[in-house]
Amino acid sequence: MNASVNWVGYCTIVRKEVSRIVRIWGQTVVPPAITMSLYFIIFGNLIGSRIGDMGGFDYMQFIVPGLVMMSVITNSYGNMVSSFFGAKYSHHIEELLISPLPNWIILAGYVTGALVRGMLVGGVVLAVSLFFSPIEIQHPWVTFSVLVLTAIVFAMAGMVNAIFAEKFDDIAIIPTFVLTPLTYLGGVFYSISLLPDFWRTVSQFNPILYMINGFRYGMLGVSDVPLSLTYVIIGAFGVGLFALCMYLLKTGKGMRS
Amino acid sequence: MHALDVQQLRKTYGNGVEALKGVSMTVEEGDFFALLGPNGAGKSTLIGIVSSLVNATAGDVKVFGTSVMRERSRAMSYLGLVPQEINFNMFEKPLDIVVNQAGYYGIPRKQALERAEFYLRELQLWDKHDKPSRGLSGGMKRRLMIARAMVNEPRLLILDEPTAGVDIEIRRSMWELIRRINERGTTVILTTHYLEEAEELCRNIAIIDRGEIRENTTMKSLLSKLDVETFVLDLREPLKEAPRCQNMDISLRDENTLEVTLPRSKSVNALFASLDQSGINVLSMRNKANRLEELFLRLVEQGDDAPEGRS
């Protein structure tokens, strides 16, 4: 198909997804803002004031990148999984499946929608954090690129979850039992240098650790892991998940009989 | 060029059900074509493969000469589909649903808005264009799906039981609309349970049963195969047993109703003469079923008698 058809199709999917985010703003933007404000108050302010410095920064400053990244991960994933599964469940995904749009445009449109929500919520959380701690971004391009690439990776992971899910319970399993533990254990609240050797080694198998630390390096200039590894791991997951999404869309898993 | 060319199409589902057993058929450009079959005959599977929602096991489908299997995107650009089940987002407004669909076909937003307004007005939905679509009535939801399918101005429009569950008034207005769409040059394929609908609208017909095409011909030639007609007669006086008349099959449905099967070669006058001779007074008379329905039932019943009966 020609490029203009694909471009109009892509813009339509993005517009539809952004409209959905705006239409249900009470579910998409407000809850993370409230949750993260509580994190800032309880962990950063009340408990953090007794913890002291971490990685050369006061505790509140240290957890801001982690909490922003946590919001971006959960919201980009959550947006994709709920929107795509909802479309599949009520069969309006068929509007796209019978259209001339190629699968990569469908994927790109939904990923962009998830990215918009991830960045929007990340921005809100960052804005909330300014009430508690001054922010000075050390490496803006690293900050931005790690944030965007991580949101894209988790949006694609959300699509895989949505494609395999058969009922609404199935879209809650991965976020609850995989995503949340990995995020909490990925260095949002602590530096892995504080962990005993064994648990530090175990933590290094957690890909989210590299994403959070890459982002923390961008904001604060400190990280538990080399920055190059952050990009390698995000790139590897990105390529793998893109290939998997394309394969699943091509075979029509759960969508075409 | 054929609007639709289906060749040796087979579909076996994962559970082993063979839904299509080598179906071949063609639909000419500009045609109004009926696809008939009982539940589970393979109609929806066939339409699913044509619209790329179902993967074929073997065979090929071409839409205006373009293979759905090899050039899906191009083939889909010719197609509009009105599915059997409601499949739009109930939380969106009708205007957004139709405009978005246009966008998926690469129609720029300004043009999409104009077209959406045109089709929503034509389908008498414009006064609801800005209301949540979950609030639409059943008939309105079906009309919305037609507007959505028409917004890309497809060359081939497939309607899978579009009037199921709508009242007769709306059904007839939808017939008019679909007829107008066909008159503008769009090839229409219609599946329906209302055989009267197919007889009223369609020029050509295929009857599918158990994954095989039983008939694929013009409506006219199919109807000409019907050599008998069955009438139901309401009687003034009750009867104990059915009268006997030559070349007519008469049975008593109940004591006040006769069912008469008459060869088409035989005049209805002859029936009344015989009944008159027997002293039977007829109050009213009607066809037992419409002509197509009789043929359809006979074709399907023939299939039931075949060695490979329905399991």
Residue B142 is predicted with a pLDDT of 87
Q: Is the pLDDT of residue A62 over 70?
A: yes
Strand order in the sheet with B249-254: B249-254, B257-263, B228-235, B282-287
Would you say B25 and B41 are in contact if contact means Cβ atoms under 8 Å apart? no
**A251 or B309, which is more confident?**
A251
d(CA B7, CA B56): 11
Instruction: Identify the band that residue B293 occupies on the pLDDT scale cut at 50, 70 and 90.
Output: low
Q: Mean of the per-residue pLDDT values for chain B?
A: 84
Residue whose C-alpha is closest to residue B207's, from B295, B307, B291 = B295
CA B155 to chain centre: 19
Of the partner residues A12, A95, A100, the one whose CB lies closest to the CB of residue B77: A100
B44 reaches A (C-beta below 8 A):
no
Q: What is the pLDDT of residues B177-200, one digit of tens each?
A: 888 889 988 999 998 777 777 877
Mean predicted confidence (pLDDT) in A174-195 = 84
Would you say A210 and A225 are in contact if contact means Cβ atoms under 8 Å apart? yes
Which among A120-129, A154-163, A212-221, B249-258 has the top mean pLDDT? A154-163
Q: Is the pLDDT of residue A116 over 90?
A: yes
User: What does the DSSP 8-state code read for residue A42?
Assistant: I
- Long-range (24+ apart) CB contacts under 8 A made by B213-219 are B213/B23, B213/B24, B213/B25, B214/B299, B214/B300, B214/B302, B214/B303, B215/B299, B216/B25, B219/B34, B219/B292
Instruction: Identify the band that residue B164 occupies on the pLDDT scale cut at 50, 70 and 90.
Output: confident
Of the partner residues B74, B87, B109, the one whose CB lies closest to the CB of residue A100: B74
B87 reaches A (C-beta below 8 A):
yes
B157 contacts on A by Cβ (under 8 Å): none
Q: Is the pLDDT of residue A37 over 70?
A: yes
Strand order in the sheet with B18-28: B18-28, B2-12, B58-63, B66-67
A219 reaches B (C-beta below 8 A):
no
Residue B280 is predicted with a pLDDT of 85
A16 contacts on B by Cβ (under 8 Å): 96, 100
Q: Do A5 and B81 touch (CB under 8 A)?
A: no
Beta-carbon contacts of B135 under 8 Å, excluding residues fewer than 6 positions away, are B128
Would you say A137 and A129 are in contact if contact means Cβ atoms under 8 Å apart? no
CA B305 to chain centre: 24
Q: Is the pLDDT of residue B70 over 80?
A: yes
Q: In chain A, which residue's Cα lies nearest the Cα of B55?
A: A257
The token pair that represents B279 in the structure block? 């002293």
Q: What is this model's ipTM? A: 0.85
d(CA A185, CA B245): 91
Residue A58 is predicted with a pLDDT of 84
Q: In chain A, which residue's Cα lies nearest the Cα of B54?
A: A257
Domains and their CATH numbers in chain B: 2-224 (3.40.50.300), 228-294 (3.30.70.1560)
Q: In chain B, which residue's Cα lies nearest the Cα of A95?
A: B101
Residue B310 is predicted with a pLDDT of 35
A92 contacts on B by Cβ (under 8 Å): 87-89
Q: What is the pLDDT of residues A119-160, one digit of tens each?
A: 999 998 888 888 888 888 889 999 999 999 999 999 999 999
Mean predicted confidence (pLDDT) in A233-237 = 94
Which among A55-59, A97-101, A181-185 has the top mean pLDDT? A97-101
Residue B300 is predicted with a pLDDT of 66
Q: Is the pLDDT of residue B306 over 60?
A: no
Q: In chain A, which residue's Cα lies nearest the Cα of B158?
A: A98
Q: Is the pLDDT of residue B297 over 70?
A: no
A256 contacts on B by Cβ (under 8 Å): 52-55
Residue B250 is predicted with a pLDDT of 84
Residue whose C-alpha is closest to residue B190's, from B37, B86, B22, B21 = B37
Residue B298 is predicted with a pLDDT of 66
Residue whose C-alpha is closest to residue B218's, from B303, B299, B300, B292 = B292
Instruction: Identify the band that residue B158 occupies on the pLDDT scale cut at 50, 70 and 90.
Output: very high
CA angle B241, B244, B250 (to 5 degrees): 75
B50 reaches A (C-beta below 8 A):
no
Residue B172 is predicted with a pLDDT of 81
A95 contacts on B by Cβ (under 8 Å): 87-88, 100-101, 104, 148
B107 reaches A (C-beta below 8 A):
yes
Instruction: Identify the band that residue B308 occupies on the pLDDT scale cut at 50, 70 and 90.
Output: very low
Termini Cα distance of chain B: 39
Q: What is the pLDDT of residues B10-60, one digit of tens each?
A: 999 988 888 889 889 999 999 999 898 888 788 889 999 999 999 999 999
Any idea which residue has 């109940």 for tokens? B254
